[in-house]
Structure 1
Amino acid sequence: MITQLNPDVLPEATGTYTHGTLVTGATRTVFVSGQVPWDEPVPADFDTQCRIVWRNVLAVLGEAGMGVQHLAKVTVYLSDRRYRAANGRIRQEFLGDHRPALTVIIADIYAPEWLLEIEAIAMA
């Protein structure tokens, strides 16, 4: 069971995240390696790349018999802060009402054509 942790002493967690997650009764943990928009050719636009990356994350979870609802922690690496809004919008498309702990980092991504990378931890 995943419970959202949002202490009153912290600002309200707005958007598609929670300040922390408490996982109880979990017997399985999946660590999803950083997923990238690996496709031939790599699409140039952020929205398409982001959907490919989320598809990859969900494929790894599916291989373990898990889904979005099992995500406890997500880390998103963006190549540029201008992608923040699109990233949040597309993340919400995939996560719906589920709010895992979340970190978004602006970073230099491994390959210059990749605009983002996502890693995650899921528990069931």
Structure 2
Amino acid sequence: MKRESINAKNAPAPRGGYSQAVKIEDFKTLVFVSGQIPVSDDDKVPESFEDQARLVWRNVDAQLKAAGMTKADLVKVTTFLSDRHHATANREIRSEYLGAVAPAMSVVITSIFDGKWLLEVEAVAAQ
């Protein structure tokens, strides 16, 4: 698969850890990961945003592994935050998880299905 990060010079530069666009060619598999929520496999929801965010990324990772993929295969990530005040912590924890991986990305501030959930993350991966 050929993968190219695109950041057009005549548009705003990305503001940390993502690409403005990701072009993929010659891929064999696409995986669409539904919104992963901050709920553990024993149905517990952590209280702090930081703990919820780390759990969400563990859940994304679990889905990718079940599909035979890793975070290196991510091409698009959408994060839904319940409050814009979580933006900095979200960026820091996302960067912890993604490292040098720079998928296309969107962050949306919105109400989330369950009031206890402070974020939800959906993703697209390709190989």
- Place the TM-score, normalised by the shorter chain, in its bin: over 0.9
For normalisation by structure 2, the TM-score amounts to 0.95
TM-superposed CA distance for 1:42, in Å, is 1.1
Cα deviations across residues 1-40 of structure 1 (Å, max 9, x unaligned)? 3210101101111201110000111100000000001134
| Distance in 1 (alpha carbons) for counterparts of 2:35 and 2:44 | 19
Percent of aligned pairs with the same amino acid: 43
Equivalent of 1:62 in 28, 51, 65: 65
SS class of match (2:5): strand
Q: How many pairs align?
A: 124
The unaligned stretches of length 5 or more in structure 2 are: none
1:92 offset after TM fit, Å? 0.5
d(CA) in 2 for partners of 1:73, 1:82: 23
- Which segments of structure 1 move beyond 3 Å, counting only runs of 4 or more? none
Measured in 1, the distance between the counterparts of 2:89 and 2:3 equals 26
Contact 1:71 / 1:120 at 8 angstroms: preserved in 2?
yes
Deviation at 1:41, TM superposition (A): 3.0
Aligned equivalent of 1:75, options 65, 75, 78: 78
**TM-score of the aligned structures, taking structure 1 as reference length:** 0.97
- Matching residue of 1:120: 123
Cα RMSD, aligned residues only: 0.8
Query: Does 1:3 find its partner at 2:1?
Result: no
Aligned to 2:17: 16
Q: Separation in 2 of the partners of 1:51 and 1:114? A: 13
| Alignment partners' CA distance in 2, 1:67 and 1:81 | 28
SS in 2 for 1:4: strand
The 8 Å contact of residues 18 and 102 in structure 1, kept in 2 or not, is answered as yes
**Structure 1 alignment gaps of length 5 or more:** none
